[in-house]
Amino acid sequence: MRQGWSRPGSSAGLANPKPASKTNRLDLKGKAAGGSPAPIRRLSKSRPAPEQNGKQYSPDSPTSPAQGSPYPLGPSIVKDGVNMAVFAANAEQLSVCFFTEEDLQQGRVTNEVALDPATNRTGDIWHVMLPQLDSSSLYGFRTSGPHQSSNETAVGHRYDEAQVMVDPYATGLISRRVWGEHSPELDWGKVLGLATTWPQAAGIVPSQAPPFDWQGTRPLHLPREDLIIYEMHVRGFTQSPTSATSYPGTFAGMVEKLDYLQTLGINCVELLPSQEFNELEYYSAIPGTNSYRYNYWGYSTGGFFAPMARYAQAAAEGQPGQQIIDEFKMLVRECHKRGMEVIMDVVFNHTSEGNEKGPVLSMRGLDNRIYYMLAPEGEYYNYTGCGNTLNCNHPVVRRFIVDCLRYWVETMHIDGFRFDLASIMTRAHSEWDTMPMNQPGPGEPGETQSAIMAEGAGVPTGTPLSDPALIEMISEDPILRGTHLIAEAWDAAGLYQAGAFPHYDGQWSEWNGNFRDTVRAFIKGSDGTWASQFAAAMTGSPGLYSSSEPREEDWWANNGGRRWKGNRSPLASINFITAHDGFTLADLVSFNGKHNEANGEQNRDGESHNLTWNCGEEGPSRKPTILRLRARQMKNLATALLVAHGIPMILMGDEYGHSKGGNNNTYCHDSALNWLDWRQAEAAGNGYARYFRHLVRLRLSRPELKRTTFGNSHHICWHGEEPGEPDWTETSRLVAWSVSTPVGEVNGAAGLYIAFSASHQPISLQLPVWPGRVWQPVVDTGKPAPYDMLVADSALSQASINTALAGTRMWTADHLYPLLPWSAIVLKSIRE
């Protein structure tokens, strides 16, 4: 993530985007064919009537702009045209700017409609109804008002009438149409836009097109305990030439490959940011390489209601904005057809406008004081590490966020959200009050107004709130409360709320970073109390989510979060071992340290504390013993993830062993480092990838692994080398347990025995004796493929399985099982 903002570089010598075809060229109503576009108009207090094609609007014309309505915010179709409404409390003047796409690419306004505050403003909302507005039009807003740099009484205001702002409620945005391609070189500073990497963007106008055909699909409402989440990048999923898709790197391309995810057993995809962002936001050459830096992950939103246009094949083909929206809807529909839910990773903690050095793109030019968390001198609080912080708990901003989430659920059929740096949403907002600076004397002009910082929530700005209004609104909203709500329960300023994030009757789950660290540490054989911590992680992290007693070092849980601590279920925990911003599973077992040299920052970036083990050699190896150990450790890690109570999240590519060469911070790479390698996935089909597929199915089929409450000694028994004798010392390398099924026999089995060894020595386990039953192996990571997973398929026949089982009966008949070094087993209890 970036620190602040710097002006993007130019794009000399790089390809320009394809122009829209003539059949798709926009034709703004009232602009004569071949006529010259209207110049950019500067607002003034004595405004002339707005012009269109050189003619003034006639007040009595049926096509003249009308008063409009203050609600709903954004553009909306009404009986006689399109209504537009935007919040801009402190703007002195506001106009709607219209563009053809041709003019937009040249950074010039086609037509501009100035609004009359006497008729087009209600309270803090400006509004207008535009009759007969062509749906191919593009639009934005221009405002005029005070700026703190030139007005000492205007602290916090940053109005700039030279800019045209994107509507925060725009449901689609058009600027560049093709990922990574630059706009034409223009005379920046004299036209709209910042650079070839950051041209002017504009919103689309809603159309009367036929409604999208959902083909009878609806959101699935899968129970949380059944979820298998797959964290993925839309572009990275199919961008590699090895995908052989017709539309690589797009929503449409992803649809082509959904059957692959269904084969894996995935029933929920979590899309890295797919709302509009600028992938060229910090485009620059990476020192020491021939590569350029991209905003690949997309954690810098520019349009919260709009799907990322350059993830759409429709955009590249020059199709209207509605087709971009429909392509995203098609993706959601096709996921639902296959029994897969769609969760969006959303960034309601900062925007792409950065700090005070950043551009005026949208919220900053509409009402900077309202939308951003500001200090008394107008500085930006930076709890995000990205230059600004969204003023989430301000009434206007929280209404915006809830409106946005509802739009994605109601209109786009999204099933849930993962909130990036969600702790930001619990911080107290900043607020400004106006007050007289002085009282006028006789004959003097009226009093002047200044502004003072008020405590927006009755406490200093940025204070973590025990009952944050935004989180409560989301949790109690009748549309949102039935969706999956996942919090990344920390922020970049040190607030850590994991285990005590405001959850409102358990509606929220949390990314469990403690699970990640514990599993990594135990599996690699670290010294310390990892055995007991690993046992807790495998059973839903009861210390975090069941116990109401916080640890002494948990500041939040001992203070404002005390009421939210404990009395939750294992489903509060999103279990993960890897995620987009860190090592892949293959790299965890191949590198002792990060190797981020390709980022051009002398390997200073990225997390240094990774709990990895290279199994004896750093990086790629040809030694069979090391390769075998790495393969076993990958299976051990995957097994821990998928047998643990809670909700598992898998990183895209981990299902076949994708490597990023030890780079744990690939935020800037649009390359094979981040792209799924379809050839490798296919090549691993009968080895590790086979194991992974069947492991997912094992979890889905076994109720013992999907508990919705924390177990006790009647449900879970801990063992060591002998039954009922676990070893929790700091030198322990063995964790074993048996878990009973809550519903009787399932597929002929009732209960599981699970064991993990991080020792370099083999262990002979004495198994617990259950009357009338015997233990039968299903998983043994110490065995070579395909015998590591005893499931019949094209790689392993039932006859071969029967032979393998016969070989284990000499052990299991005496309630014994040999556990090889660095291995894991899953046995099922069957009748004798």
Phi, psi dihedral angles at 762 (to 5 degrees): -70, 155
**Mean pLDDT (whole number) for 321-328:** 97
List the domains of the chain with CATH numbers: 1-209 (2.60.40.10), 708-831 (2.60.40.1180)
What is the rounded average pLDDT for all residues in the chain?
90
Helix orientation angle between 688-701 and 624-643, rounded to the nearest 10 degrees:
20
pLDDT at 476 exceeding the cut of 50: yes
| DSSP letter, residue 311 | G
pLDDT band at 49 (very low <50, low <70, confident <90, very high): very low
Q: Write down the pLDDT at residue 7.
A: 27
Evaluate if residue 491 carries a pLDDT over 90.
yes
Q: Prior bond to 72 cis, omega within 30?
A: yes
Q: Is 693 helix (H, G, I), strand (E, B) or coil?
A: helix
Residue 442 clears pLDDT 60, i.e. is over it: no
Tell me which DSSP letter residue 548 carries. Answer: -
Mean pLDDT of 816-822: 97
**Average pLDDT for 324-329:** 98
Q: Is the pLDDT of residue 4 over 50?
A: no
d(CA 340, CA 456): 41
Arithmetic mean of pLDDT, 497-508 = 97
Rounded average pLDDT over 659-675: 97
Both structure tokens of 430: 């900043």
- What is the reported pLDDT for 452? 60
Q: What are phi and psi of 639, to 5 degrees?
A: -65, -45
pLDDT confidence of residue 438 = 44
Give the pLDDT band of residue 139 (cuts 50, 70, 90): very high
- Phi first, then psi, for residue 282 (nearest 5°) are -125, 45
Is pLDDT above 70 for 829? yes
* Residue 563 three-state SS: helix
Geometric angle at alpha carbon 50, from 48 and 51, rounded to 5°: 115
Identify the three-state secondary structure at position 113.
strand
The pLDDT score that the predictor gives to residue 748 is 75
Measured between alpha carbons, how far is 254 from 249 in angstroms, rounded to an integer?
A: 7
| Over residues 75-93, mean pLDDT | 96
Q: Are 796 and 824 in contact (CB under 8 A)?
A: no
Asked whether the predicted pLDDT for residue 458 surpasses 70, the reply is yes
Kind of pairing between the strands at 647-651 and 716-719:
unpaired
| Residue 41: predicted pLDDT | 34
3-state secondary structure of 55: strand
| Torsion sign across C-alpha atoms 778, 779, 782, 783 | positive
pTM for this one?
0.91
Handedness of CA 279, 281, 284, 286 (dihedral sign): negative
Give the residue among 73, 108, 104 at the shortest CA–CA distance from 87: 73
Other residues' Cβ atoms within 10 Å of the Cβ of residue 524: 20
Q: Is the pLDDT of residue 545 over 90?
A: yes
Choice among 334, 431, 488, 704 that is catalytic: 488
pLDDT confidence band for 234 (50 / 70 / 90): very high
- pLDDT over 90 percentage in the chain: 85
Q: What CA–CA distance (Å, rounded) separates 579 from 584?
A: 7
231 catalytic, yes or no? no
Read off the pLDDT of residues 758-789 as tens digits, 9 standing for 90 and up. 999 999 999 999 999 999 999 999 999 999 99
What's residue 685's pLDDT?
82
Residue 267, sorted as left (phi over 0), alpha (psi -120 to 50) or beta, turns out to be alpha
Cβ atoms of 449 and 437 within 8 Å: the answer is yes
**pLDDT value at position 451?**
58
Runs of H (alpha helix) within 413-529:
469-476, 513-523
What pLDDT was estimated at residue 609? Answer: 93
Q: Is the pLDDT reported for residue 66 higher than 50? A: yes
**The one catalytic residue among 161, 270, 327, 420:** 420
Q: What is the pLDDT of residues 505-523, one digit of tens each?
A: 999 999 999 999 999 999 9
Is 420 labeled as catalytic in the residue annotation?
yes
What is the pLDDT averaged over residues 693-703? Answer: 97
The predicted structure's pLDDT at residue 63: 64
Q: What is the rounded average pLDDT of the residues 669-683?
A: 96
Quick one: average pLDDT of 725-745?
92
Percent pLDDT > 70 in the chain is 90
Give me the pLDDT at residue 440, please. 46
What average pLDDT does this structure show over 361-377?
97
Contacts of 182 by beta carbon, 8 Å cutoff, 6+ apart: 11, 14, 15, 16, 17, 176, 196, 197, 280
pLDDT confidence band for 435 (50 / 70 / 90)? low
Q: Residue 33 pLDDT more than 60?
A: no
Q: Which two tokens stand for residue 691?
A: 């194991």
CB 813 within 8 A of CB 774: yes
